[in-house]
């Protein structure tokens, strides 16, 4: 997805918050794209792991908060194992999710789930989705 960057939209506090919550310095990323190449859900997302880290490092809060990738990430750790800079990418993505959840905003609303769908979806998947996607 192409993004136009504008210095007026830079939010350094957002970058700082993600770094503080994750404990990962985003400037370590050299944008090699190894994480994107390994990510099993990259093709289903609106940005790649490399792009979300780049946008976060550049303080593009609105763009990062408006893409769905942080919620699609399966926290599988494939990217983290191969990142040449040793970045814990899932932790960075978790920090992005937490910024929303700490405002008491749910990404999925348990009561909006259609009655009867629990016969098609494994219960463990629902429990894990509630843990990851609700405040």
Quote the least distance from Cβ 57 to ligand SF4, whole Å.
Answer: 9
The residues of the shown chain that bind ligand SF4, judged by CB under 6 A, are 29-35, 38-41, 49-50, 53, 73-79, 83-85, 87, 89-90, 93
Structure tokens at 59: 């303080």
Cβ distance to ligand SF4 smaller for residue 53 or 63: 53
Cβ distance to ligand SF4 smaller for residue 14 or 26: 26
Long-range CB contacts (within 8 A, 24+) of 61-64: 61/9, 61/11, 61/14, 62/9, 62/11, 63/3, 63/9, 64/14, 64/96
Quote the least distance from Cβ 100 to ligand SF4, whole Å.
Answer: 17
Distance, CA of 15 to CA of 22 (rounded, Å): 11
> Residue 114 gets which letter from DSSP?
P
Quote the least distance from Cβ 129 to ligand SF4, whole Å.
Answer: 15
């Amino acid at each position: 997805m192409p993004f136009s960057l504008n210095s007026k939209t830079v939010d350094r506090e957002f970058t700082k918050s993600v770094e503080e919550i994750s404990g990962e310095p985003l400037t370590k990323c050299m944008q090699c794209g190894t994480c994107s190449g390994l990510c099993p859900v990259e093709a289903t997302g609106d940005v790649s792991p490399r792009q979300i880290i780049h946008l976060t490092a550049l303080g593009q809060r609105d763009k990062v908060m408006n893409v769905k990738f942080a919620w699609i990430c399966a926290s599988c750790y494939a990217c983290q194992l191969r990142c040449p800079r040793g970045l814990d990418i899932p932790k960075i993505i978790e920090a992005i999710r937490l910024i929303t959840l700490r405002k008491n905003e749910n990404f999925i609303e348990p009561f909006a789930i259609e009655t009867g769908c629990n016969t098609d979806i494994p219960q463990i998947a629902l429990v894990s989705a509630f843990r990851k996607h609700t405040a």
